[in-house]
Amino acid sequence: MKFMRDFSNFYNKRFIWAISLFFGFIFNLPQVSFAYPLKERRSLQRSIMDYRSRLNPGYEKVRRKKTKYIIVHTSELGLKMTLRVVSKGKRLRNGRRTHGGHAHYVIARNGRTYRVLDKKYVADHAGLSMWNGETDISNISIGIELVGYHYGSITESQYRSVGILINILQGVYGLDDRAVLTHSQVAYGKPNRWFRKNQRGRKRCASNFIREKAGLEATWSYDPDVRSGRLLADLQLSKIYYGRRKYYAKTDDGNVITQSNTAWSIAGEDYDSRTTVYKFPDGHVYAGDQISGKIGWDRIPVKTVVLLNQENSISLIKSHDPIKTISDRLTAWSFAGQAYDLKTTIYFLPSGRIKVGSMISDWDDLPAKTKLIVGYRGPYKLDNGQSAYEIAGLKYKDRKTIYYLPPKKLLAGDKINDFKGLPKGTLIFLPTT
Ligand SMILES: [Zn+2]
């Protein structure tokens, strides 16, 4: 008996081995190792929000013939706008609008995953792109958008979801870790004022994606299209992706112009777009398409803040009002950047609640119409009989002194006429500098 069992075991193993060798040989499938257990893969799959019904009906669904890559993007927008853009479409430079279908999946900053387009179809996500000599990467890849900015950070929840999702897709399509790339790795641009040849650097998105955090290992140690001379390298991107030392996109400079952080390295091809906004340190605001005529590309001052994807919101950015309002396009990150979670950034929610940055879990969790002030201390409560002057001193009428009048009114000092009529419980916030 024992002999028989051993024999059958042996026989089974050999059989399985032979079968896998056969199929491995026929399909040349790379070994897919699942970094995440089945239970977690199943639970993510079950939790995916189906957003397919919101896809623009004008988007023409075409079946993808092969799938060689998974491309990771950062959306450079908040969740609401990201979903709108990838499903409904976006405005192009020539004024035309696309028909959506710009990603298969969107992953919110809390890790929630949305399915925008069935994975069997081509999503229009990579644009002008090339990898290893092959162009039009959209036709041979899955596109995943992470909500956030390439000069900001990707959340732990996003890494977890994207890691599991990639793992599932690797299993479906038989892809190894080298098949997972970012958009900034595969996008390329036509010659422009900086480059005489086709080059990398057209897109910056997901250059802050840390592969290890998504459970990915093996990767490319060089850019095959740069090595072969098909494309010119982008200095910053090649440092990030192929540098000898591990080098991650520096987020300290973020979207602020410095000697090394140029308009091109922040905005890529959108540097001169009408929807890219430059806010100079002196407060002047220009759209990307005004810079060459009014300023000159080599004359943008350091400390200029660059905001991407700003359709119709220039006037809001221009405003010197210290009270900022969150909208679909202008997130807490747009106004406060990395200061979004500091104690000195104060949020006034539409519900009437007041929260300081350190109470906020993420900049994308705040509802539209939330107001915020950046760089403030307080609140100082106006007690019975106390005057604003006693708290704010000579600056009590200043436009930078902020008054919160219960239940929900927020006013700058220069907008208040009757200081004696301030209601009991009024809160005063003073600028830290
Ligand atoms: Zn992208």
| Ordered per-residue pLDDT tens for the chain, 433 residues | 444 555 455 556 556 556 655 555 555 555 566 788 999 999 999 999 999 999 999 999 999 999 999 999 999 999 999 999 999 998 877 778 889 999 999 999 999 999 999 999 999 999 999 999 999 999 999 999 999 999 888 999 999 999 999 999 999 999 999 999 999 999 999 998 778 899 999 999 999 999 999 999 989 999 999 999 999 999 889 989 998 766 555 555 678 898 888 888 888 888 998 889 999 988 888 999 999 899 998 899 999 999 888 877 777 777 778 999 998 888 999 888 889 999 999 999 999 999 999 999 999 989 999 999 999 998 999 987 788 999 999 999 999 999 999 888 999 999 999 998 898 889 999 999 8
Q: How many residues does the chain have?
A: 433
| Alpha-carbon torsion, ordered 285, 289, 290, 293, to 10 deg | 150
Cβ proximity of 400 and 413 under 8 Å: yes
Q: What is the DSSP letter of 359?
A: G
- The predicted pLDDT at position 20 comes to 57
Residue 309 CA to ligand 1 centre (angstroms): 13
Burial class of 282 by CB neighbour count within 10 A (0 to 12, 13 to 18, 19+): exposed
- The predicted pLDDT at position 28 comes to 53
CA–CA separation, 416 vs 17, rounded Å? 81
- In 10 A of CB 95, how many CB atoms? 7
Residue 106 CA to ligand 1 centre (angstroms): 12
Residue 87 CA to ligand 1 centre (angstroms): 15
| Every domain range in the chain assigned CATH 3.40.80.10 | 38-242
**Three-state secondary-structure class, residue 227:** helix
Residue 203 CA to ligand 1 centre (angstroms): 7
- The predicted pLDDT at position 32 comes to 62
- The predicted pLDDT at position 121 comes to 98
- The predicted pLDDT at position 12 comes to 60
Residue 131 CA to ligand 1 centre (angstroms): 15
Residue 32 CA to ligand 1 centre (angstroms): 26
Tell me which long-range contacts 268-272 makes (C-beta under 8 A, separation of at least 24).
268/184, 268/187, 268/189, 268/201, 268/202, 268/203, 268/204, 269/189, 269/192, 269/202, 269/203, 270/308
- The predicted pLDDT at position 342 comes to 95
Q: To which CATH superfamily is domain 38-242 assigned?
A: Peptidoglycan recognition protein-like (3.40.80.10)
pTM across the whole model: 0.84
- The predicted pLDDT at position 15 comes to 60
Q: How many helices (H) and strands (E) does the chain have?
A: 12, 21
Cβ proximity of 403 and 350 under 8 Å: no
What's the token pair of residue 432? 């830290």
- The predicted pLDDT at position 197 comes to 93
CA–CA separation, 94 vs 113, rounded Å? 32
- The predicted pLDDT at position 29 comes to 52
Give the chain's end-to-end CA distance (angstroms, integer).
86
Burial class of 19 by CB neighbour count within 10 A (0 to 12, 13 to 18, 19+): exposed
- The predicted pLDDT at position 269 comes to 85
